[in-house]
Amino acid sequence: MPGGYEAIVVGAGHNGLTCACYLAKAGLKVLVLERYSTYGGMTISEEIAAPAFLSDVHASGYLRRQAQPGAAPGRNAAKSIFGDLGPAFPGKTAI
């Protein structure tokens, strides 16, 4: 595939970047796309509230969701094309 990409990873969070690195190490030409202004996903911090005061931009949204009334444990269990993987991935495999 001259001039093209063999894999496209949507999202430049820590998982997307890790996946892209493994694909590139395997010899594929990889394109990583990210909508946000920087890469890192839930690992980034920015000055939002005040100068020199860092806030975790994305992870706080996840914590807010968990604190809402009715948020049952395991409700945000991982899902994939293979079905419900459950909180600890018992007996399931994912790529």
Report yes or no on 83 lying in a domain: no
Cα dihedral across residues 36, 23, 21, 86: positive or negative: positive
Report yes or no on 76 lying in a domain: no
Cα–Cα distance between 31 and 19 in angstroms, integer? 11
pLDDT in the model for residue 18:
93
Phi, psi (deg, nearest 5) at residue 30: -115, 140
Report yes or no on 52 lying in a domain: yes
Report yes or no on 65 lying in a domain: yes
Report yes or no on 25 lying in a domain: yes
Most confidently modeled range among 24-28, 72-76, 91-95: 24-28
Whole-number CA gyration radius for the chain: 17
Give the total number of structural domains in the chain: 1
Strand 7-10 versus strand 30-33 pairing type: parallel
Cα angle at 4 between 25 and 43, to 5 degrees?
Answer: 50
0.85 cut: is pTM over it? no
For residue 61, the enclosing domain spans 7-70
Q: Residue 16 pLDDT > 80, yes or no?
A: yes
